[in-house]
Every structure is written in C-alpha cells, then in structure tokens.
Chains A and B, each alone.
Chain A
Amino acid sequence: MIRRWLQATAYWSALVLVIAALTHLVSILALPYRSADTAYARVARAAGRRPLTSVVVASEERGPDQDPALVTSVCLYDLRQGPIAITLDVPSTGFAALSVADRYGRMLYGLTNRSAAHDQLALTILSSVQVTRRSAASEAAATDVRVESTEPEGFVVAQWLATAPSERPAAEAGVAHLSCRPAQ
C-alpha cells in the first residue's frame, strides 16, 4: 500500500517537474519576443517610431546600465522595403562605435573607429533573402561590410565617447550625423 502510494507520488512529482522545466524553458526563450519595455521599444519611442531617422538619445532614455559619457544616437530600420546603408563619420582619435541589433535585442554586429576607412564607418544591413540576391547580382560590392539580419526590424546605435565634458558638444554633433538610408 505504501509502495503504491510512493510510486504514485513519484509519478505525479515527475510530471510536475517535467511540466515546470518545459514552462521555464519556453518562457525564458519567449521573453525577448514578449517583453514590452525592451531596448528596441525604448529606442523606437525615442525615434518617434520613424524608421531611418537618426535621433540622439540621452543616457536615461537608453535604459539601465548606460554610460553617460557615451554619447549615443540611434535609428530604426525595416528591411521589408530593401537593404539599408549606414554611415557614420568618426574621429581618427578617441573612441566611436557603430553597432546593429535586431528588434529582439540580439546584437548582430559592431565595429569601432579603429576599423574606419577614411574616417568613416559604413555597412549595409540586409535580410537573408537580400544577401542571396545581392551575392548573385553583384560582385563589385563584395568588399562592403554586410550585416545579415534574420529579423526585418531592428536598430542601429552610434556611440561616441566624450572623454571629458568639454568633448560632449563635438560628440553630440558627431553622432547626430549618423546616416541611415535605403541602399542603392
């Protein structure tokens, strides 16, 4: 009798644990897709939800754990209308970076002014289909930095370190020139 009771308890407990593990895994995996106040949501609010419009974002608007010395501008992209070309003029000294994230917060690519050619960072964001089409159509553009985004929507972040308060105006002017436009 006790053995039967123990067997039944073990059976139902195992069932509870399996369901708990599945629920936990599914909810953790789904969270980036279901959260309301993600980094993308904040960036979209700051950019007025207008794609390809670059906006300088204050550190308080960028969410938690942001360095106020890192002057930042963002622009939203939507690849459903075609690939997007991004350029940012950067200083040859100091620190500036350009990064691309999809709308679910996956950081896709980043590069800094160390890898700039002629003091400019440039990259093209494409969907997987656009990458295949472009590879077949164009050999000439093979030297471009191409970033493949599996999600059609995302955002670009331009960052420029103001190493002292006196450098802030130059940094703000620098990131304000982040250019996001449809690629030719």
Chain B
Amino acid sequence: MPSMGGSRCNEGSVAFAGREGRFVLRLLKLLVSVAAGVALGLAATWASLRGDPVLSDVRSGAWIAWPRSGSADADPYTRAAFAHAGRLPLASAAGLQFIARTDDAGHPLEGRCAYTVTGPVPTAQYWSLTLLDPDGVARASVLPRSGFTSSEVVRSSNGGFVIAVTQEARPGNWLPVHGDAPFILMLSLYETALGTALATGGPVPVLPAIARTACP
C-alpha cells in the first residue's frame, strides 16, 4: 500500500511538472512572439522611413509631391517621414514642392550624365527649379548657381524653356552639376491652387520633362 501511495504521489508530481512545463513553454512562446512582433513592427517603421513617404503622394512623370504635407491634416506617414528627416514642409497656402530623383525613363539622376528640363510648368505666380544633393542640401557654396526662378529663366519665342543640367557650361539656361555624384531636382511652385486641388483628389498636371541627353 505505501508503495501505491508513493506511486500516486509520483504521478501527481509528474502531472504538476507537466503542467508547469507547458506553462513555461507557453510563456516562452509568448515572449518570443512579442519580441518578434515588436522587431517586425519597428523594422516596418524603419523601412517606411527609408524612402519617400508613399501614402498620399502624387506622381507626375519623375516628379513626386505630398500635397498634404503643408497642412494640419497631413497623414501620419508623411508627418513621421518629414519629422524624421527634419524637413520643414512648405505651407499649402504658400505653394507646393515636387522632387525628382530620376529622369523620365526612371534612371537615377547622376552628375556624370547630361540632362535637359523642358516645360510646361503648372500655373503659379512664381516657380523655381533647384538642384540638391541626395540628402536634400543645396550646394549653393560650391556652384555658381543652384537653381533657376521663373523670373530668371530665358524663354524661347513660344514662351517655353529648356534648362540644361550638366557639368559642362552650356549657353542659355545652364544649371551646373558638381561632380559625378547623384543629385535630385526640386520644382517649387509658389502661390498656386494646385496643392489644394491635388489634396482633394484633383487631376495631376503634366510637369516639366527630364530627359537624359548624354551619359558617358
């Protein structure tokens, strides 16, 4: 009989140990799941901040803009991306900025290649075309000019314009590039109704064409 009692006690211990083991295993699985979930969520956040914000963006050719970035109702992804980059958006009432990282064929803009930027530009009181490095900084100190405004650009007889974006000097509108490194172009439209129109789902306008004319 004592042996039977001992056996029951052992069975109880084994059952308790089994339950405890399962509990520890479940707890471990839960901890691993939470850790994996947090890591995956943070990785998704990091990935979404690496490139340009994709929610509420507007694209036309190679150009991309975030019409709501300059208003109080900017979406959380755009706000997060602008805050992370330390970028100050242009207020919607003031204007709208487009960025181009590639030419119209989708090739990244590179200093070793030559490009032309030709109209049209949407209706705005003023506009400017600025050359920035990939981090968005204007190289005003190393270049004779880092952009053109609509008042400076030399127009052809039909009102259109061609801006050459090259390392070598060109006659007419020449926007100089420093070195072979990649760069970006920014088209800023000031005093335009386009931002409000695009933010409310209006049609996307045709923007200046960016064509690669030579690339050694």
Residue positions of A touching B, CB distance < 8 A: 12, 15-29, 31-32, 35, 37-39, 41-43, 59-60, 62-70, 94-95, 97, 99, 101, 104-112, 114, 157, 159, 161-164
Known: A59-B140, A112-B93. A15 touches B37 (CB 8 A): yes
Pair B191/A64 contact, Cβ less than 8 Å: no
Partner among B29, B42, B74 whose Cβ is within 8 Å of the Cβ of A107: B74
Q: Report the Cα distance A17→B49, complex, angstroms.
A: 20
Known: A19-B41, A20-B40, A27-B41. A163 touches B152 (CB 8 A): yes
Q: Report the Cα distance A20→B37, complex, angstroms.
A: 4
Pair B42/A157 contact, Cβ less than 8 Å: no
Q: Report the Cα distance A97→B190, complex, angstroms.
A: 9
**Which of B15-23, B106-114, B125-133, B163-171 makes up part of the contact surface?**
B125-133
Pair A23/B42 contact, Cβ less than 8 Å: yes
B147 at the interface (CB under 8 A from A): yes
Partner among A18, A39, A106 whose Cβ is within 8 Å of the Cβ of B37: A18
Q: Report the Cα distance A28→B29, complex, angstroms.
A: 27
A150's nearest neighbour on chain B, judged by CB, is B72
Q: Report the Cα distance A26→B41, complex, angstroms.
A: 9
Which of B95, B99, B136, B186 is packed against the most chain A CB atoms within 10 Å?
A: B95
Pair A21/B41 contact, Cβ less than 8 Å: yes
Pair B86/A99 contact, Cβ less than 8 Å: no
Partner among B36, B49, B136, B152 whose Cβ is within 8 Å of the Cβ of A164: B152
Min CB–CB distance A97 → chain B (angstroms): 4
Partner among A17, A31, A112 whose Cβ is within 8 Å of the Cβ of B80: A31
Min CB–CB distance B60 → chain A (angstroms): 17
Pair B126/A95 contact, Cβ less than 8 Å: yes
Q: Report the Cα distance A105→B89, complex, angstroms.
A: 8
| B56 partner residues in chain A, CB cutoff 8 A | none
Min CB–CB distance B82 → chain A (angstroms): 6
B176 at the interface (CB under 8 A from A): no
The 6 closest A-B pairs by CB, nearest first: A19-B37, A23-B41, A64-B136, A110-B91, A110-B93, A99-B91
24 contacts between A and B (CB under 8 A): A12-B33, A16-B33, A16-B40, A19-B33, A19-B34, A20-B44, A23-B37, A23-B38, A24-B48, A31-B83, A39-B82, A43-B88, A63-B86, A64-B136, A65-B87, A65-B186, A68-B138, A99-B94, A101-B91, A105-B82, A107-B92, A109-B93, A159-B94, A163-B150
B137 at the interface (CB under 8 A from A): yes
Known: A37-B86, A38-B86, A67-B128. A107 touches B70 (CB 8 A): yes
| B151 partner residues in chain A, CB cutoff 8 A | 163-164
